[in-house]
Each structure stands twice: as structure tokens, then as C-alpha cells.
Amino acid sequence: MAMPTPPVIVKLPAWRRRLLLVLVLLGFAALLGRSVYLQSFHKRFLQEKGDARYNRTLTLPSQRGKITDRYGELLAISSPVESVWANPSDVKINASQTKKIADLLGLKAAAVNKKLVNSEREFVYLKRRVPPELAGEVMRLAIPGVYLQREYKRYYPAGDVTAHLVGFTGIDDKGQEGFELTMNEMLSGKSGSRRVIKDRAGHIIEDLEAVKVPQDGHDVTLSIDRRIQYLAHRELSKAVTKYKATAGAAVVLDAKTGEVLAMVNVPTYNPNNPVNIAGKTRNRAITDTFEPGSTMKTVTAAAALESGKYQPDTQIQTAPGYMSIGSATIHDAHPHGVLTVSEVIQKSSNVGAVKMALSLEPQYLWNIYNQIGFGAKTRIGFPGEATGRVRDYKTWRPIEQATMSYGHGISVTLLQLARAYTVFANDGELKSVSLLKLKEIPVGTQVVSAKTAHEVKDMLELVVLPGGTALKAQVLGYRVAGKTGTTHKLGDRGYEKDKYVGSFVGMAPASNPRLIMAVMIDDPSSGEYYGGTVAAPVFSAVMADALRMLAVPQDAPNNNVVISSDVEDVKESI
């Protein structure tokens, strides 16, 4: 049996042992120094790097305020949705999962891969504003690095009927048009926040700071009556289609308060899906100007009566149906001979209106135009409101003073025109207009005397009776007062021969006006273009339903309407 081999014992020289010990001690000293350096002098940098990897500040979105009509009916509301996002550096996905998530989100697989290809990015949206149910299906795929973010999507229950007033929001829930834009700050509120630590799987493992609670946006109550808005939209759409017009607009005011109860435009668009809307977003009742035509004769008559030079029965010679001013000749549609001031309005005589205007001082007439609101914004607080135009009286030539008396050479918005008629509904007092519901009746501005206002209102009643230009504006059971207007459209080279604007402005019931409505039909091309034919019927249809809807007492018997087919309409002068 062999003897065991004795173990080999290696003894290091003393100097080598000491060297090894020194090196180990130096290593520990280096590590200690590095630790002190990192934790003392380089602490902030490391904390920032750590925070960048695991700390997150989560935004808690605020809910946008509602927009309602005057009775609380919803016009705009936010509904919760989810946005699907991903952190490309954390995403672990196979081809099968890519196809599934692409199909759910309505994307192509290549588009999903393109969003996820850059692993240096920490945030990328895969699809925004996804319904919660669909978002749930996406999360059930359990793809690491794919998350949800709560957002809100705007919904407009009235759709295209209130589109020009309410407007719409963009993908980030910021107002783009209408009141969504005008009152964006008030509606938006303030987002909240929450600082947390997340692990690599995206799970929250610790809250670092208390929640900053989001402040929801404030609600906005418009002056609009949704029922009347629907009526006006329906009837205006019918007229634009029937008369093959380019566009149309209508405004309904509360005669006592100046609140806008309806404001509609055609063509319109769907704010729930605002695509291909170029040229359709203009609120023509506020942003577009036109020559008011014979609706302006009412203001001319008021100025003439207020001057003291005329009474309603003052006679004016309009024969032979035309008159010359310099090189220009002004015509009536039909020669009438001697007419009273009331008949000038009823028959819509250009010659009669011109003779009244030329007998007044230019500055006096300009002051009336100015006080009644022409040439100045209504300050209704809506984006893009036009000013309109009234030339300075110092530059007027006789022909300009003459043509302005019947609505040529002056431009107004439909809202300005409707507001002007509040003077004749409120004893000579001009009311301010509002698209927001008012808590109390505002004090107006006295423009003419109550006597003048009543006399003009009586003249306007004659316009819708036999012998007037607006038989089609009559309303069963109610007295109506109003005025038609028809003008040639202005083009690049002056007035266009075969293009017209037909309008009507009126109030009812005439005994104690409750509603004022202005209607404008732009470029009707069916062969009919007079305001009494294309615009007055819209007024009649809307007023008939709106007055009964508001339970306004009748001021006329139910047999007050004269069928227009039995009585010839008087064609107004253009």
C-alpha cells in the first residue's frame, strides 16, 4: 500500500504578501471614494437618471364643461374614451399579436410596427380616442409595454343643427370653432397630476406625491332654444333646396331681451365628424355682410318721421315711377303716383324712400344709421364677427345718400339687421343682443321716440296685408309686421345681373312683439328671388310653430290669413 503524498505548501515572500494586502486595501479605498463621490457630489445626476427610468408624473385630465341651450338641453358633452399608447423600449410583441392589435385599432400591421420601431422613444400613441370596450379588448392581449390613457371625446347631440354656434374641438380637446373656441378656457378647466414610481412592466408601485385634483371646466348656457333652432334649420334648409340657393341664414331674437333664440346657416356640417368642411364653418349670420335692400326703407321712414318733416299720411309724389340723380336713374318696380309714407313702405317704393332721404341732412341720417347699429359690431362675443359698412356722411354724394335709403351702398350682417328691428318692437329702444342666457332684461338705447316706433310698426303690418310685398309672411292667428328686401349681388365688377339676395325681417305678434326673425336667401337660382317669395315663407313657418310653442296669446282670429294665390303679390323695387 502506497504512502499518501504530503501536501505542497507554498510560502510567499513577505514583500509579496504585503504588496497584495496593499492592493486590496487600495481597491477598497477606491470603491469607498467612488461611493462617497457618487452619493455626495454626483447625487443629483444619479437621482435624475433614476427618476427618468422609474418616476412618472401622470396627468389627470379634467372634464370639459357642457354647453346647453337655455332650458338645459345638451348641445355639447364630453364622454370618456381611452387612448392606446406604448413605450417602444418595453414592448415585447410577436407577429400574431401585432396583427391582432392592428385589427382591433383599425390599423395596418406595418403602421403598428413603424410606431414601435424606435426603441429610444418612451411614448407613442397607437390610437387615440378608442371606445372603452375596444380598449379593454386591446389590454386583454397582455402585450408588455402597451398601456391606456384616459381622455374625453366631445359629442354634439344636435349635430349639424347647432354646428355653427357650438363649433367643435380638435384631437386634443381644444376648441376649433364656435363657442368651443370662444370660451375654450372656461370650458377646459385645469388638468390634475400625480407623481408615481413605475416598474418596467408599467405597474405603479409607489405614490411619491399626493394627487393634484383636476378642476373640471365650467358649463356654458346659451340663449338658444333648441326647439326653435330645429324649426329654423328645417325651414331654411327647405327654402335653400327649393329655390336652388347657394346658401341661407336665419336669426330669431327674443324681442324683449335681445337674446338669440335661434341662429342657423345652410350649408352646414356635422361637428361629430368634421371632415371636408372647407367653406361650411362660416356663421354667415355674423361673419358675412350683404346689402339689406328694401328692409332698409323702414329705417329711412323712421328717420323721416323722427325729423318732424313727415307723418305717416304725408303724401309723396312717386310718378312717373323713376327719378334721375345726376347720370343715374332710380326706378320703381311699378309706377304708383302719389303715395303716403305708409304706402311707400307697403309698396316698397324706391322713389318714395329716396325723396324722403334727400330731404334730410346727411349727418342726421348717418346718426340714425349709426345709432341703430349699422357699421359697428354687435359685440356678441363670437369669433369672426363682421362690422358692415356705412360710409362717413362727409363723403356722401347725393346718389349715395339716395341709394342707401333703400339699402344699396351699405352693408350689414343678418344679426345687425335683426337687432335694428328691436327698435320698432320696443318703443324706439335698441336692444343689445346676446348668445348667452341672460338673468335679467338689459336696458337698451333709445334711438327714436315711442311714437315713431309705433307708427313704423303699423306701416310694417301693411306689408303683409293685401297690397303689400309679403303676403307669404302671414301667420294664422297672429298679426305680423315686417319688411322684404331684394338686391342684386355685388361681384368683382359691380352688381351681377342674374344674382340676387332675398331677405325678410319681421316680428310677431305685432300688437306686442315677442319674436323677431330675419331670413336671408343667398343667390336663389330657381327663377324666384324676391324676398317676399323666398324668405317670407321661412319666417311664416317658423313663427307659426314657435309662437305656439312659447304659448304666446293670439292677437288675431284664425281666419286672418289671406291666401297669397288669391291675391297678387306686389313685386318690390330692386
Positions marked active-site? 294
SS3 content of the chain, % helix, strand, coil (to 5): 35, 25, 40
Indicate the helix (H) or strand (E) that contains 50.
helix 43-54
Distances (CA, A) of 441 to 223, 417, 438: 13, 20, 7
Angle, to 10 degrees, between the axis of helix 297-307 and the axis of helix 450-463? 140
Backbone angles phi, psi at 293, to 5 degrees: 60, -140
C-alpha to C-alpha distance for 62 and 139, rounded to whole angstroms: 24
Those residues whose C-beta lies under 8 Å from the C-beta of residue 334, and which sit 6 or more positions away, are: 321, 347, 570, 571
Q: Answer whether 562's CB lies under 8 Å from 282's CB.
A: no
Give whole-number Cα distances, 452 to 257, 446, 504, in Å: 21, 12, 21
Q: Which of 221, 215, 260 is nearest to 76 (CA)?
A: 221
DSSP string, 177-201: SHHHHHTHHHHH-B-EEEEEEE-TT
- CA–CA dist 51, 53 (Å, integer): 5
Scanning the structure block, which residue is given the C-alpha cell 319681421? 506
Helix (H, G, I), strand (E, B) or coil at 319: coil
Is the separation of the CB atoms in 508 and 515 below 8 Å?
A: yes
